[in-house]
């Protein structure tokens, strides 16, 4: 979709990894569609993922008992968050689609185990269970329309052909990403099937 803005939040330490391949395919395909694609490469940026007092510039409202949620909210209102956080917030606000990541969000992830291990009867339980806090508790709660996840199961133990098929599946999905309907981000979608 020409003119759309896409933000890819990428977090992997090795650019030549399978995750790096998935990111590259997303950048190439979405750019070919005429989208403006921005990548936040968290490792390359040395982005600090922990929520700490250092995220706030200037004085806090209650220095005796630091409450991150309260202080971050107040700092946001005053424009007193650090520039790295403000920059990332701006990228999210401007994006029509966030891949990570009243916008579309799509979680693209890899696992260390096979798909059978992420079924209801599998050792890890249904993959929807572990996606609940991220997709529902964070993305949906913050106003994103959440698309079905893209999960590449166990690329480390997959054959080269299987990995190529995973990347091709991701590329194919991205061709029609703008036509997808969001999931029903309610407990029955995660726990009722």
Span 105-142, pLDDT tens digits: 999 999 989 999 999 999 999 999 999 999 999 999 88
- Find the domain containing 59 and state its range: 5-191
Query: pLDDT at residue 101 above 70?
Result: no
| Residues 44/83, Cβ–Cβ less than 8 Å | no
Cα–Cα distance, 71 to 161 (Å, whole number): 50
CATH number at residue 112: 3.40.50.360
Question: What's the number of domains the chain is made of?
Answer: 1
Q: What are phi and psi of 3, to 5 degrees?
A: 90, -10
Task: Count the neighbouring beta carbons within 10 Å of the beta carbon of residue 147.
Answer: 21
DSSP state of 149: P
Instruction: For 12-59, write each residue's pLDDT tens digit.
Output: 999 999 999 999 999 999 999 999 999 999 999 999 989 999 999 989
| Residues 3/178, Cβ–Cβ less than 8 Å | no
DSSP state of 2: T
């Amino acid at each position: 979709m020409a003119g759309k803005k896409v933000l890819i939040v990428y977090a992997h330490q090795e650019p030549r990894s399978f995750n790096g391949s998935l990111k590259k395919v997303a950048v190439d395909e979405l750019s070919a569609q005429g989208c403006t694609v921005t990548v936040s490469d968290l490792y390359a940026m040395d982005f600090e993922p922990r929520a700490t007092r250092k995220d706030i510039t200037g004085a806090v409202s209650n220095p005796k008992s630091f409450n991150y949620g309260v202080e971050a909210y107040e700092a946001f209102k005053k424009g007193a968050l650090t520039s790295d956080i403000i920059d990332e917030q701006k990228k999210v606000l401007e994006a029509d689609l966030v891949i990570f990541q009243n916008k579309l969000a799509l979680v693209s992830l890899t696992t260390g185990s096979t798909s059978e291990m992420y079924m209801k009867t599998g050792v890890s339980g249904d993959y929807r269970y572990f996606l609940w806090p991220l997709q529902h508790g964070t993305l949906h709660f913050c106003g994103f329309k959440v698309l079905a996840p893209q999960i590449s199961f166990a690329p480390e133990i997959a054959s080269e052909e299987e990995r190529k098929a995973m990347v091709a599946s991701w590329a194919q999905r991205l061709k029609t990403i703008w036509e997808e309907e969001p999931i029903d981000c309610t407990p029955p979608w995660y726990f009722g099937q």
